[in-house]
Amino acid sequence: MTGDSPRTETPPDRRETLIEAAAALIAERGIAAVRTRDVTARAGVGVGLLNHYFTWSELRAAALERVLEAAEGAVLGQAAGDPPARRDAVLRAAFDPGHEALLQVWIEAEDLARGDPALADVLARAMAELRAGLAALIAEGVARGDWACPDPEGAALRLIALHDGLVGFLLTGVPPLDRGAATAHLARAFALECPGG
């Protein structure tokens, strides 16, 4: 065969093409706005092929997982440096306008997960990784003497809960809250959870 021959996708390639198309659409539009016909159009395949490889629930879950994996660094503010520098990066990233689409996807997925076990499973794993990453950052700061915290895992959970609540305020505008105030609230909570930093 010459290099000019059309490429024939193998089944794993087709699965990957569908996941990539769904993930891109979810990242652009939000999970609730994406339909099967949007994914098949983006992937350049028919609906029958999508249904051959996935149920809609399975595809949404795989795509959501891809979106969350790609965004994990942005959410945790994976910056180099010592724990205080990484904490500051987390605070800067927490309500960054560039992450608004991801925050919207997270909120929508939480809502949809109530009736979709596959989405619920993806969110549970993502939340566990997020909590573990934040707890590890807090514990590292304790070990280095940057701050004190008797319960890094509990502190991480409470900080994430506050963050998610503040995101809801920002996205709905009820009550009115700007990003600077949201960041200040989260920074204050971190200081209360981890005094001395």
> Which of these, 71, 193, 62, lies nearest to 129 by C-alpha position?
71
CA–CA–CA angle 61, 67, 70 (5° rounding): 140
> Which of these, 160, 166, 158, lies nearest to 90 by C-alpha position?
160
Q: How many CA atoms lie within 13 A of 140 on its CB side?
A: 13
What are the DSSP calls for 119-140, one per residue?
A: HHHHHHHHHHHHHHHHHHHHHH
Q: What pTM did the predictor assign?
A: 0.84
d(C-alpha 13, C-alpha 83), whole Å? 40
> Which of these, 172, 170, 60, 166, lies nearest to 122 by C-alpha position?
60
Distance of CA 61 to the CA centre of its chain: 13
Distance of CA 10 to the CA centre of its chain: 30
Q: What is the pLDDT of residue 76?
A: 59
Using CA atoms, how far residue 17 sits from 20, 33, 44, 102, in Å, is: 5, 19, 9, 21
d(C-alpha 117, C-alpha 187), whole Å? 34
Q: What is the pLDDT of residue 23?
A: 96
> Which of these, 60, 64, 54, lies nearest to 125 by C-alpha position?
64
What does the domain layout of the chain look like in residue ranges?
11-193
CATH class of the domain at 11-193: mainly alpha
Give pLDDT tens digits along the chain (197 positions).
Answer: 444 444 455 666 889 999 999 999 999 999 999 999 999 999 999 889 999 999 999 999 999 999 988 776 655 555 678 999 999 999 998 999 888 888 889 889 999 999 999 999 999 999 999 999 999 999 999 999 999 999 999 999 999 999 999 999 998 999 999 999 999 999 999 999 999 97
State which amino acid sits at residue 52. Answer: H
